[in-house]
Amino acid sequence: MSSPIRLHWFWSTNPEKIRLALEELGLEYERVKVDIVKGHHKTDAYRAIHPRQKVPALEIDGVTLWESGATLAYLGGREGRLWPSSSAGRAKALNLLFMEGSIFQDHAGVFFFNRKVLPSIGKEGDPERVAAAQKKIDPLLQILSDALGDGDYLLGDFSLVDLGYAPWLPWIDLDEFPAVAAWRARLMSRDAWKRCGITAPDSSS
């Protein structure tokens, strides 16, 4: 009997990527909350699961994955679904996932922190920092817009690559990128998004 899939999770963006993926793939899993506000990620026990003591971590098939982009790629290869089968498709998928992990989330995180995290603890965000992040993220949004083209999703059909970006998008201003805004709306209308109960601003553009 195979061991259960266990997702070490908090409500922040990177863990939600993996939760969305598991829901989209229809995999049964146990969700273990790691309350980073209370410091649960700083224990020795959790360090044994995630050496960087962050979230998420996914225990699956006797191994543990603790980078969200790597986890999405692993799940795609494991399931042979929602993942490209061609060499060109896999190259595009990995390029986009690595871009998200290496630079996109640094700038997207400024939006999330100022528009979600700070208000959740009764503090106001810093509009100047958000404006600075917008200038830095705009070239990356253009790359995503180009990848979308006239299609509905980054690879044409929906894939796990879309989920690498999905939880960030509600917090980012997309007025200048209508194709990306339409993609965001499609992602937020999916059943898996609704099942995960991911919060978003009431007036996202």
Q: Which structure tokens are listed for 75?
A: 């799940």
What's this model's pTM, rounded to 2 decimal places? Answer: 0.94
Crossing angle, helix 178-188 and helix 127-148, to 10 degrees? 90
In sequence order, what are the residues at sequence separation of 6 or more whose Cβ sits closer than 8 angstroms to the Cβ of residue 186?
Answer: 152, 153
- Model confidence at 53, pLDDT cuts 50, 70, 90, reads very high
- Asked if CATH classification 3.40.220.10 holds for the domain at 87-191, the reply, yes or no, is no
Distances (CA, A) of 5 to 15, 40, 59, 182: 14, 20, 6, 33
Mean pLDDT of 172-192: 98
Residue indicated by tokens 């980012």: 172
pLDDT at 205 over 80: no
**Which residues are bridge partners to 157 per DSSP?**
155
Helix/strand/coil for 29 = coil
**Number of CB atoms found within 10 A of residue 186's CB:** 14
Mean pLDDT of 22-45: 93
Q: Return the percentage of the chain with pLDDT > 70, whole number.
A: 97
Which CATH fold topology does 6-79 show? Glutaredoxin (3.40.30)
- Model confidence at 3, pLDDT cuts 50, 70, 90, reads confident
Tell me how far apart the alpha carbons of residues 27 and 2 are, in angstroms, rounded to a whole number.
13
Q: Which amino acid is located at 138 in the chain?
A: D
* Domain locations in the chain as residue ranges: 6-79, 87-191
- Model confidence at 1, pLDDT cuts 50, 70, 90, reads low
Cα dihedral 25, 31, 37, 41, rounded to 10, equals -100
- Model confidence at 204, pLDDT cuts 50, 70, 90, reads very low
pLDDT at 2 over 80: no
Q: Return the percentage of the chain with pLDDT > 90, whole number.
A: 92
**Which residues are bridge partners to 8 per DSSP?**
32, 57
pLDDT digits (tens, 9 = 90+) for 134-176: 999 999 999 999 999 999 999 999 999 999 999 999 999 999 9
Q: Which structure tokens are listed for 11?
A: 């409500």
Tell me how far apart the alpha carbons of residues 136 and 85 are, in angstroms, rounded to a whole number.
33
Mean pLDDT of 79-103: 98
- Model confidence at 202, pLDDT cuts 50, 70, 90, reads low
